[in-house]
A and B are shown apart, each in its own frame.
Chain A
Amino acid sequence: MRKLFSEKNTEIGRKSVSRRILLLGLGKMTLIGLLAWRMRKLQIEDSEKYRLQAEENRINMRLIPPERGLILDRRGRELAINVGNYKLVITSEKTRNPKKTLGKLAELINLDDEEIDKILKDINKRSPFVPVTIAEHLSWESFSKVVLNLPALPGITPEMGLTRYYKKASSIAHVVGYVGPVSRKDLERFESPDPVLQIPKFQIGKTGVERELEEKLRGKASLSKVEVNAAGRIIRETERIMGFSGANLRLTLDNHLQEYCHQRLSGLSASCVLMGVNSGQIIALASMPSFDPNKFVFGISQKDWDSLLNNKLRPLSNKAVSGAYPPASTLKMAVAISALENGIISKSDAFDCPGHFDLGNQRFHCWKKKGGHGRIDLKEAISQSCDVFFWEVARKVGIENIRLTAKGLGLGTKFDLPLSSITKGLIPSKEWKRKKLDQNWRVGDTLNAAVGQGFTLASPLQLVVMTSRIASGRAVRPQLVKSINGKSKIQTSFPELNYSRDSLSIIRDGMFLSVNNSKGTAFKSRIKDETQIMAGKTGTSQVRRISLEERETGVLSNDQLPWEQRDHAIFVAYAPYKNPKYAVSIIIEHGGSGAQVAAPIGRDILLKAFDSDKKLIV
């Protein structure tokens, strides 16, 4: 034991300590070298990668939604505008007791306990500096009440956003359409949806012009690059890429005439189109009944939606473009032009109308079945709408020729307008029937088609285009957008139709007589003013099959039938006869006789259009 404590041992110990220190020191330096090597890897080799990640960390993109373009009528009157959306947000870090603040707020605006609970939950989920929306779309009164009391409401911030508002809402609902919150279905419409659509409750066009011209109206969002900290709080804006507001649209519509049409059709299930004969500009396009598009802007309530959907008069449908009806006698002009152009008849050829027409053992009845029209020529046949005459002609012309002419006049054509669900209508052909119904075409089908029944279908839009083309002799196309951001979008000239002037003028004469001859179907609705003489054609399209027994006991009048089985009343017209300016078409669903029901409305609309022109000049 003593040996252990000798001096020599201490010396040995000291040396061993030095050796161990050296060993340990070397180990440490190796480890320090390892750290330095690691730093080199991070800070020099991979520096670029990490610099990039640091940037990604710090920069956030924020979208500032653009202001949606306005929609105006042809005279610059506002149809769809943006109004302030007054809302209130709460920032919980600015109030000591959010619950108390909300309680006080509830004394000023409608806010029930359930809503307060929901807001408080929202607050707890988010960082304290994130504003949480309390209420939107407040009235100016309640909003100003809150603003006045702000000092007593810590943490509450009044904000103003923009939201769509439709003036003269229901009269323009079908044309302008409406916007609503973006749905997943909306996003699927675009190949690469603009990121602005991801903003909660961003409004997108759902129907009509709002939908079809969505991208022009929307504009482009500004992009604000902001520096944020780890918690997401914005420190400052580093860059802003300016977007632009949506384009302002000027439509060809005249708001006053639009409203007039809307009112004139009220109470009916009907639609009408008023168009410039030579320009193709749609001055008014109304469909009834209508609805309030403003209800859709914030998302429509289930109750309102159900009542719109369950209404059998289909208020949501724009019947003027998407309604397809048998055009009835209004198709006779096309048959007549086809017959003249193909040399089947001359303008003076006449046929006998005994009130019926026999095809084999099948008998077709003229609308005037008692005694018929007697000997009748083309002009008279148009004006008195003699079915037998056109059956005689149609049998010779054949469906293919009728079809070509009808197409040339704009029937069976889908026009390119920024409106929703535009129908193509239908002008049948032999091939169509074979393909669609797997049946051969029969002469009876031609006869039905010649008087706009059977398979034929047309919309008021197509009928007004047809009328304009007959009146102008040009292949007028309908137009709805006058200008976008002041840049004209109007097509000013249209090619002439491929029909001889003679043919067209005979048809026009027929239409003139139809209104202005005492025997004409629409004589009661004529315009007496020399400068505004109207030419037109009535149509009454049958929606039911009249049975043999009914023929014998006497055809039931519309008054005796349930609404769904009554005839559609149709009228097309243009005026003034000598120098055509406006064309109009009206279809009243199950309205009865075209002459009695539709023609007076057509006359009134045309008169109103002239009236409004006069006012403009004065």
Chain B
Amino acid sequence: MFSFKNIVDGNLSYLKKFFLFHWPLAVLTLATGAFGILMLYSVAGGSMLPWAEPQLMRFVVGFGVMAIISFIHIDFWRSLTIPLYFSSLLLLIAVMFYGEGTGAQRWIDLGFIRLQPSEIVKVTLVMALALYYSTIPILAQSRLLWLIPPVLLICIPTFLVFSQPDLGTSLLILTSGLAVMFLAGVSIWYFVLGAFAGIGLISSVFMTRGTSWQFLTDYQLGRIDVYLNPSLDPLGAGYHITQSKIALGSGGLSGRGFMQGTQSQLDFLPEKHTDFIFTTLAEEFGYFGSVGLLTIYALIVIFCLLSAAKNQDRFGALLTSGLAVMFFLFFFVNMAMVMGLAPVVGVPLPLISWGGSAMLVLLGAFGLIQSAHIHQPRN
């Protein structure tokens, strides 16, 4: 289909590609990462170790990976979709047997990085669905029979992640998958139907509670209970939510100042360098800081969506918008969680939370978005 030369530079020179690069998006990505390193420096009590320095290194590496992916033609990535998707599924299965850690953070230690297959599968699933919907006939996509492959594509990784068990990530995978289906133009009635089914499923989860048919573990149900009523357990599971709300609230309009947040500096915040890092930011930089970060995130999403809308290539458009949805879900769920709007599900704040796997995967996804942007069909 295309020569190696085509893979590397397509019909464009490197210089041209450099100019076609989506610079605003790249700058926002960079700014977010910098913000994250700053916060990691703060939560360590004003020290580059143990978090800020390794995070900086990873970010540099990740940014390089992103650049390389961007410069490779999108069609190459498209051709790799199927092997990537299935190898990520294999990794998910492998991690169940050979993985380290329990529950939400199952990983495979590759030496230089702890690989979390559940992170990778988020991207490969979007790729697979984008491939599927850019291949099948448009008019067929709303037909019932044609819905079976994408539903399987979504449900297999969702189930595998759910059984790790990692409820939060599995819901994220499910939702991003459904979003790609929605973007592809699958009839809206299926989603309405699905919503009803979802409500039914959720109520059945609670109806079957305590019976041998119980879907969720007691631990997961407990977290939902505490989310609904944090005062149930102010020093246990509800502690996270209560303390993070205190941190957020005490930040006020302009914050308590860099490295002056008592909640994070005195360790009242749980997971302050990972899932709850937003609370530190909000405590130290206040409403301005938190809305600032929210704006950056919103702009990233908007730029991606605009790029996707203009993209003539259906794969590229679906991939870009699907990954944008995934990115959105990341930060939305994380922020909603720390603000007490959603249960504590263990989703990191994209590009900011400590953690190599999630950041590398995200930067890789941005690489794909850039590649789709650069290599879009131009008449």
Residues of A within 8 A of B (CB): 1, 3-5, 9-10, 12-14, 16-18, 20-22, 24-25, 28-29, 31-32, 34-36, 38-40, 42-44, 46-47, 49-51, 53-55, 57-58, 227-231, 235
Contacts and interface: CB of A to CB of B under 8 A. Distances in A.
B80 interface: no
13 contacts: A3-B139, A13-B185, A20-B182, A20-B183, A24-B321, A28-B332, A38-B336, A38-B339, A47-B252, A47-B253, A50-B246, A50-B248, A57-B268
Interface in B250-295: 250-253, 262-263, 266-269, 282, 286-287, 290-291, 294
Q: Which 3 A-B pairs have the closest CB atoms?
A: A50-B249, A4-B137, A16-B185
Interface stretch (B18-26, B152-160, B195-203, B300-308): B300-308
B294 A53 contact: no
A17 B185 contact: yes
Interface stretch (B67-75, B208-216, B217-225, B311-319): B311-319
Given A28-B298, A35-B335, A55-B262, 4 more contacts: A24-B321, A47-B249, A50-B248, A230-B268
A24 B183 contact: yes
B171 to A, nearest CB: 15
B93 interface: no
A24 to B, nearest CB: 6
Given A21-B183, A227-B266, A10 B138 contact: yes
B291 A39 contact: yes
B255 to A, nearest CB: 9
B339 A50 contact: no
B290 A39 contact: yes
A35 B336 contact: yes
The majority secondary structure among interface residues of chain A is: helix
A4 B290 CA distance: 48
Interface residues of B, number: 50
B14 to A, nearest CB: 29
Contact of B267 (A18, A54, A230): A230
Contacts of B330: none
A235 B290 CA distance: 28
A24 B305 contact: yes
A46 B312 CA distance: 48
A43 B253 contact: yes
B249 A43 contact: yes
A238 B129 CA distance: 58
Contact of B321 (A14, A16, A21, A54): A21
B139 A47 contact: no
B179 interface: yes
B286 A17 contact: no
B341 A54 contact: no
B277 to A, nearest CB: 15
Contacts of B246: 50, 53-54, 57
Contacts of B60: none
A21 B305 contact: yes
Nearest to A38: B339
B309 interface: yes
A40 B341 contact: no
A43 B341 CA distance: 15
B308 A21 contact: yes
Contacts of A4: 137-140
B317 A17 contact: yes
Contacts of A35: 294, 332, 335-336, 339, 341
B247 interface: yes
Contacts of B301: 25, 28, 32
Nearest to A49: B249
Given A24-B183, A50-B245, A17 B308 contact: yes
A39 B332 contact: no
Given A17-B308, A43-B253, A36 B294 contact: yes
A39 B339 contact: yes
A282 to B, nearest CB: 56
